[in-house]
Amino acid sequence: MSIESIHLTAGGVSVLLDVRGGILPSVAHWGAALGDLSAADARAIVLSGVPPQAGNTVDEPVRVAVLPEQRTGWLGRPGLSGSRDGRAWSPWFRVVDLRVTEGEPNEVDALLALSGGGAITLTANDDTAELELQVDLHLSPAGVLRAAATLTNLGAPYRLEELSLALPVPARARETLDFAGRWGKERTPQRGELRVGTHLREGRRGRTGADAATLLTVGEPGFGFARGEVWGVHVGFSGNHRHYAERLSTGEQVVGGGELLLPGELILATGESYRTPWLFGVYGDGLDDQAGRLHRHLRARPQHPRRPRPVTLNVWEAVYFDHHLDRLVALAERAAAIGVERFVLDDGWFRHRRDDHAGLGDWYIDETVWPHGLTPLIERVRALGMEFGLWFEPEMVNVDSDLARAHPEWITQTGGRLPVESRHQQVLNLGVPEAYAHIRDRMVDILGNNDIAYIKWDHNRDLVDAGTAPGGEPGVHAQTLATYRLMDELKQRFPGLEIESCSSGGARVDLGVIERTDRVWVSDCIDPLERQEMHRWTQQLLPPELLGAHIASGRSHTTHREHDLGFRAATALIGHLGIEWDLGQATEAELSSLAEWIAFHRERRGLLHSGELVRMDDVDPTLWVSGVVAPDRSRALFSLAFLGRSTEGPLGRITLRGLDPDRRYRVRPLSLGDPAGGYRVPPWFAGVEGASAGPAGTDGVTPLSRALRSEEVEGVVLSGRALATAGFAAPLSYPDRVWLLDVTAV
């Protein structure tokens, strides 16, 4: 009997594919796990989903394939756009081969079942169109679905415009969530109603973009962190890309995406293939479930950073381009003394780079600034017990550089002119093999001759008019793949080398780049009020250990707001902690407070970087409650972030989710570094028996919160069930404060 359906199930998710009739598979169900299915169950689910015929539509039910084909009568976006001189633009692919490429298949009659995750590869062709298609579908043990397609041209040259994959979502998903943003304010959520038509998010920046959709999710109206089913897609690619959600007047709706190809960018020669980036499909029963599934998926990768994330000091906001050995050594000494484990030298160390007008591309240590090379600094950093990291921007070039003077043709360009400058720089065309080899060799030379454990890999402009001289053909696709190749090659040559993906802050945050890098720089804006939001939402894609989260100086360099050290530190605490501050300007009190925060982070990072993220749906928009719960639910750390002044106060009871309902936990407020500086704390802070917060002093601070500055407090013991349901009274706090709660099973 031939296979009619395939059931992939893992991590609380099922994907049921309809593969009847030898045509491209369509997804009959993608969502919550369906449990064990018999062949008859699977057939019933598939057949009961066939809709009645809508008026004035094609005479057969439309089966929307993972690569939607117009020939079926599907009138949404087709998966393949392209032609061979106006022909072969609407193919009909027939499946000729189906292989299980990962997992243990259990074949029962007409059903092929893969539980615990697995992968299949389908090959299909259209002899008339002279095209072959391969579709790879993979469900990871965590329940994250990945799909990619490979198109091979078997005829005369084929001009490919788009190859995108799509996944159906049920009609009850009518609200969208994706991300916008700009420099210094990356990944700002935006919501909308999914209406008939296409909600299309295109990234044409030649990089992921501060405003990338990141995860385009549709869900049940009103979905939140803990409520409502959601289905999201993410294109794992750092070049031009597209995400979309589409609803048709016939009721079908899909989410999909792929690479965005520029005109004429891909003309496939005979026998040539193009493979799409992975399209990730992430289901969740609420946004926390969706994020948790992605976090588990990423943490299971062999290359996921496993050793404790070294606390990092980056010198950018401390010195900018003003590099002096003595000053940097003094900074390193102060950093080491407070517990920093990695010291990163940012932009400005190479030839001609005295400001941002010149030097990019000249990857030689500047002899005028570093007469003895970087060795004296690196040796001191290493002697202090820290790793050394160095900044590069390999894909860029200043016109005012030796490199551009020697090879103006290596600058991406089209139309016989140079693109408009951005940050006074141009893009170096790594699609040109000689340019690629030159940059690789310079980086290999610097990395090979210096003790460097980490690269901060920057990318500070959009790709505009990014073509290849002399003809000017579009080169974003080739550039993106060359960057990946370069990262892969360096990682291979220098085992253990870690790379940070930075791009004008957080403009290159995606699952393509994270395959070959070890963390992202979330944003150039380190203002904790802004970072609260950026961390909250960047975590929708990445676990906290991959988020570069630094404690900056009191006055933010990007917003000019001033914040207490406690708020700055508690905001950075959960991510990959670092410092971005001229410690020479810090007071003794600030340094000792920083040391305390770093020690606390180092003690807790095992939990913070392996636990499950919990974000409570707001009791009030000014109070964000979130936390990390250990996998065995024995402990957790929660943060109560007061981000404004509510019209009401106090805010009543708040709850904590994610704990074991049947265990009892002591919930204890923590006082760290600078004072908790509370306003009015609830009596339970001191234990429920006979506690009294006492009257406020003239500074508005109660005696109990003063006591919190130095003493251990008892807190309250409640079951996980009580914490999730009844909860406890929230403090009344000044705004721009974080209260940390230690939650430990007793």
Give the catalytic positions in this structure. Answer: 458, 524
Judged by CB, which is closer to ligand DGJ: 315, or 713? 315
Residues 99-118 that bind ligand DGJ (CB under 6 A): none
Closest distance to ligand DGJ from the beta carbon of 439 (Å): 17
Tokens of 35: 């449990």
Closest distance to ligand DGJ from the beta carbon of 411 (Å): 19
Judged by CB, which is closer to ligand DGJ: 347, or 674? 347
Q: Could you say whether residue 739 binds ligand DGJ (CB under 6 A)? A: no
Q: CA 391, CA 557: separation in Å to the nearest integer?
A: 20
Judged by CB, which is closer to ligand DGJ: 57, or 188? 188
DSSP structural state of residue 419: P
Centroid of chain to Cα 718: 35
Judged by CB, which is closer to ligand DGJ: 8, or 502? 502
Residues 182-201 that bind ligand DGJ (CB under 6 A): none
Tokens of 548: 């570069």
Residues 381-410 that bind ligand DGJ (CB under 6 A): 391
| Identified binder of ligand DGJ from the candidate list 505, 578, 673, 715, rule CB under 6 A | 505
Judged by CB, which is closer to ligand DGJ: 63, or 353? 353
Handedness of CA 407, 410, 412, 417 (dihedral sign): positive
Residues 636-675 that bind ligand DGJ (CB under 6 A): none
Please choose, from the candidates 87, 435, 470, 467, the residue with its C-alpha nearest in 3D space to the C-alpha of residue 265: 467
Terminal Cα distance for the chain, rounded: 57
Residues 607-636 that bind ligand DGJ (CB under 6 A): none
Residues 443-502 that bind ligand DGJ (CB under 6 A): 458, 460, 502
Please choose, from the candidates 274, 233, 239, 238, the residue with its C-alpha nearest in 3D space to the C-alpha of residue 257: 233
Residue type, 26: S
Buried/exposed 169-200: b ≥16 CB within 10 Å, e otherwise: beeebbbbbbbbbebbbbbebeeeebeeeebe
Judged by CB, which is closer to ligand DGJ: 285, or 524? 524
- List Cα–Cα distances, 567 to 89, 210, 552, 610, 625, in angstroms: 57, 25, 11, 23, 14
Question: Residue 620, Cβ neighbours under 10 Å: how many?
Answer: 18
- List Cα–Cα distances, 148 to 145, 296, 304, in angstroms: 10, 21, 22
Q: What is the DSSP string of 187-198?
A: EEEEEEE--SEE
Q: CA 325, CA 322: separation in Å to the nearest integer?
A: 10
Please choose, from the candidates 166, 168, 163, 167, the residue with its C-alpha nearest in 3D space to the C-alpha of residue 150: 163
Closest distance to ligand DGJ from the beta carbon of 458 (Å): 5
Q: Could you say whether residue 316 binds ligand DGJ (CB under 6 A)? A: yes
Closest distance to ligand DGJ from the beta carbon of 462 (Å): 14
Site size toward ligand DGJ, by CB under 6 A: 11
Residue type, 527: D
C-alpha radius of gyration, the chain, whole number: 27
The residue nearest ligand DGJ at its CB is 347
Q: Could you say whether residue 347 binds ligand DGJ (CB under 6 A)? A: yes
Answer whether the bond into residue 544 is a cis peptide, omega within 30°.
Answer: no
Judged by CB, which is closer to ligand DGJ: 126, or 186? 186
Closest distance to ligand DGJ from the beta carbon of 502 (Å): 5
Closest distance to ligand DGJ from the beta carbon of 402 (Å): 19
Judged by CB, which is closer to ligand DGJ: 355, or 488? 355
Contact between 225 and 624 under an 8 Å Cβ cutoff? The reply is no
Per-residue x/- mask for ligand DGJ, residues 509 to 528, rule CB under 6 A?
------------x--x----
Q: Could you say whether residue 346 binds ligand DGJ (CB under 6 A)? A: yes
- Identify the H or E element spanning 324: none
Closest distance to ligand DGJ from the beta carbon of 237 (Å): 21
Residues 57-76 that bind ligand DGJ (CB under 6 A): none
Q: Could you say whether residue 530 binds ligand DGJ (CB under 6 A)? A: no
| Identified binder of ligand DGJ from the candidate list 14, 176, 504, 733, rule CB under 6 A | 504
Closest distance to ligand DGJ from the beta carbon of 460 (Å): 5
Phi, psi at 238, each rounded to 5°: -105, 5
Positions touching ligand DGJ (CB under 6 A) are 316, 346-347, 391, 458, 460, 502, 504-505, 521, 524
